[in-house]
Structure 1
Amino acid sequence: MSVASPCINICRMNGETGLCEGCFRTLDEIAGWSRQGDDEKLRILALIAQRRSARVTATAAASSLSPTEES
């Protein structure tokens, strides 16, 4: 089995999170991808799924906050 790269060609690192905004990998994960075995790639893909889910949850929570009204 060969695990495909999660890269979607939106290669922009987020300075706050240290993650690529396209594939949600760290620089070390990106740089080492071609040398990793399938088990490690699958572990990274599981981490990516968790990171994406956390991002969606955080975004949804932020968008549900209503602005405060000025008196």
Structure 2
Amino acid sequence: MKSPCVQLCSFDGRTGWCRACGRTKPECRSWKKAQPHQQRRIAADLPRRLSKLRAGAPD
């Protein structure tokens, strides 16, 4: 699976999620070595995370 990275890394201090792609720093670091099912699980949650970040809602 292709990385969701858009090369605009900026991590939210409250949630720890990247404001651009929605992943955490550990998820970003381990993406290439992650199993496909792990990548799919993370990718499936990114729209929810990004929506919460944009709304400013707590996790």
Map 1:27-38 → 2, pairs under 5 A? 27-38=25-36
Q: CA deviation at 1:15?
A: 1.1
Q: Distance in 2 between matches of 1:35 and 1:17?
A: 23
| CA RMSD in angstroms, aligned pairs only | 1.4
Higher relative CO (Cα under 8 Å, sequence separation at least 6) belongs to 2
Q: Distance in 1 between matches of 2:20 and 2:8?
A: 5
Q: TM-score, normalised by structure 2?
A: 0.80
Does the 8 Å contact 2:19/2:53 carry over to 1? Answer: no
Q: Percent identity?
A: 34
1:44 pairs, out of 42, 45, 48, with 42
Consecutive unaligned residues of structure 2, counting only runs of 5 or more, are none
Q: Distance in 1 between matches of 2:15 and 2:44?
A: 17
Consecutive unaligned residues of structure 1, counting only runs of 5 or more, are 60-71
Aligned residues: 56
Q: CA deviation at 1:53?
A: 2.8
